[in-house]
Amino acid sequence: MNTHPNQSRDALPPDEVMLEPAGQFAADLRNLRSAVHRAADRQTAQPVPFGWLKAAKRRQRTSQHRVVLAWSLATACAALFCIGSLPLLRHAAPPAAEQKVIDVQPVVIDDTALLEQIDNTVSESVPSSLAPLDSLDNWSSTTSTNTESSLNAPEKKNVAQ
């Protein structure tokens, strides 16, 4: 038979059995009830003093203030945390983005400075590394006249014949 292990243990008896413990236990419960009732009666035997609820009102106000204070403190802490973490966030930005920002910035150069720079560049002497080009120019000019004269020679011969 499939029964849950706790089934027999948790099976409730009828209400009458449960609600009215019998015998000595019932008497003990009655005694406990009378004892608690008498203890409470003795404590509240004095009439309710004037302004009895004032203490409760004060406590309520204090707890409300405490809640407001706690929220203010939490908000202030959060704000401080945000302010404190701002420099960290700025430093933690990706470098590529920074580079982009630098590239975008226009370079402003004064006109006179630019003209001076151009003059200097133009008036510079030919650097030594470019010197062979001069000789090459001379050579090409001489060779061109020689070839021209050699080409013209047979023509002259034919004309003579």
Least Å distance between CB 16 and other proteins?
Answer: 9
Least Å distance between CB 15 and other proteins?
Answer: 7
The number of angstroms, rounded, from the C-alpha of 158 to the middle of its chain's C-alpha atoms is 94
Residue closer to other proteins by CB (options 37, 100) is 37
Among 3, 8, 13, 86, binds other proteins (CB under 8 A): 13
Least Å distance between CB 4 and other proteins?
Answer: 15
Q: How many angstroms separate the CA atoms of 68 and 66, rounded?
A: 5
Q: How many angstroms separate the CA atoms of 18 and 12, rounded?
A: 8
Ordered DSSP codes for 86-108:
HHHHHHTS-HHHHHHHHHHSPPP
Least Å distance between CB 6 and other proteins?
Answer: 12
Residues 24-83 that bind other proteins (CB under 8 A): 24-25, 28-29, 31-44, 48, 52-53, 55-57, 59-60
Residue closer to other proteins by CB (options 7, 43) is 43
Distances (CA, A) of 46 to 40, 41, 75, 116, 146: 11, 9, 46, 107, 143
CB burial class (10 A; 0-12, 13-18, 19+) of residue 106?
A: exposed
Only one of the segments 22-30, 120-128, 138-146, 147-155 lies at the binding site for other proteins (rule: CB under 8 A); that segment is 22-30
Only one of the segments 18-26, 74-82, 129-137, 140-148 lies at the binding site for other proteins (rule: CB under 8 A); that segment is 18-26
Q: How many angstroms separate the CA atoms of 153 and 91, rounded?
A: 82
Q: Which residues bind other proteins (CB under 8 A)?
A: 10, 12-13, 15, 18-21, 24-25, 28-29, 31-44, 48, 52-53, 55-57, 59-60
